[in-house]
């Protein structure tokens, strides 16, 4: 099996490559946020097709914030689905997801079999374009999405590109901080990257 693994930033890619050493998988940086992730993944898949390279699946890997009480720093999360909590409509009655409006879906379902050997918590990962910066908003998201365990910025975009290419997709994240905690000085970057490398060793 040959996988395309995409990350948001080079530091994540380097941690991924460290764990993938000797494997047939490819890893690239595609940029931060759902739009950059979707466009970058689509470009890589198109380039691979033109070169006669066949991938068996797409993995979005990187660091994430964990929802308090569900996962903690150093944990690994394998997404059951990448969910966009912002894609839909807001009116007086609240938020309506895109799928309920009849225009598509705000959920990219993951193929857990791609990461079956990765040790970690299974649950949904929220894909946001705006990082959650308060504890109150983190609590609101946790209440609205009881199956969610983490927040990141690329999964739904990567999953959308993979689906349009007819490929299975999964998101694998390591946790460096709690969602809503903006005190970056207290984030465990070292532990997060180490956990990401270990997850990629298991994926390999």
Is 163 a residue whose pLDDT tops 90? Answer: yes
Which pTM was predicted? 0.95
**Interval 133-144 mean pLDDT:** 95
- Are residues 171 and 152 in contact, defined by beta-carbon separation less than 8 angstroms? yes
What is the average per-residue pLDDT within 6-23? 97
Please give the pLDDT value at position 93: 86
pLDDT at 9: 98
Average pLDDT over residues 8-16: 98
Q: Do 174 and 74 contact (CB within 8 A), yes or no?
A: yes
Q: How far apart are alpha carbons 142 and 106 in whole angstroms?
A: 17
Quickly state the pLDDT bin for 99 (edges 50, 70, 90).
confident
Residue 106 pLDDT grade (very low, low, confident, very high; cuts 50, 70, 90):
very high
- We report the CATH number of the domain holding residue 66 as 3.40.50.1580
Domain that residue 158 falls in: 3-203
Average pLDDT over residues 131-150: 96
The percentage of the chain sitting over the pLDDT mark of 90, rounded to a whole number, equals 90
Q: How many structural domains does the chain have?
A: 1
Is a pLDDT exceeding 90 seen at residue 38? yes
Say how many C-beta atoms besides its own lie within 10 A of residue 178's C-beta. Answer: 22
Over residues 4-30, mean pLDDT = 97
Give the model's confidence band at 148: pLDDT under 50 very low, under 70 low, under 90 confident, else very high.
Answer: very high
3-state secondary structure of 130: coil
Handedness of CA 103, 141, 78, 43 (dihedral sign): positive
pLDDT confidence bin for 1, thresholds 50/70/90: very high
- Residue 70 — φ and ψ, nearest 5°? -110, -40
Confidence of residue 167 (pLDDT cuts 50, 70, 90): very high
Read off the pLDDT of residues 48-89 as tens digits, 9 standing for 90 and up: 999 999 999 999 999 999 999 999 999 999 999 999 999 999
């Amino acid at each position: 099996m040959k996988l395309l693994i995409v990350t948001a930033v080079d530091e994540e890619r380097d941690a991924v490559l460290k764990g993938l050493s000797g494997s047939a998988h490819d890893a690239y940086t595609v940029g931060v946020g759902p739009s950059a992730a979707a466009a970058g993944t689509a470009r890589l898949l198109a380039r691979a097709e033109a070169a006669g390279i066949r991938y068996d699946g797409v993995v979005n890997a990187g660091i994430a914030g964990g929802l308090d009480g569900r996962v903690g720093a150093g944990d690994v999360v394998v997404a059951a689905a990448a969910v966009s909590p912002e894609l839909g409509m807001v009116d007086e009655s609240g938020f309506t997801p895109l799928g309920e409006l009849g225009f598509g879906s705000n959920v990219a379902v993951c193929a857990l079999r791609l990461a079956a050997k990765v040790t970690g918590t299974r649950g949904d990962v929220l894909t946001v374009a705006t990082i959650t910066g308060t504890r109150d908003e983190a609590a609101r998201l946790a209440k609205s999405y009881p199956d969610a365990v983490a927040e990141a910025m690329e999964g739904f975009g990567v999953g959308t590109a993979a689906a349009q290419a007819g490929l299975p997709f999964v998101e694998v994240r390591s946790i460096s901080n709690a969602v809503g905690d903006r005190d970056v000085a207290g984030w465990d970057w070292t532990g997060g990257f180490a956990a990401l490398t270990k997850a990629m060793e298991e994926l390999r």
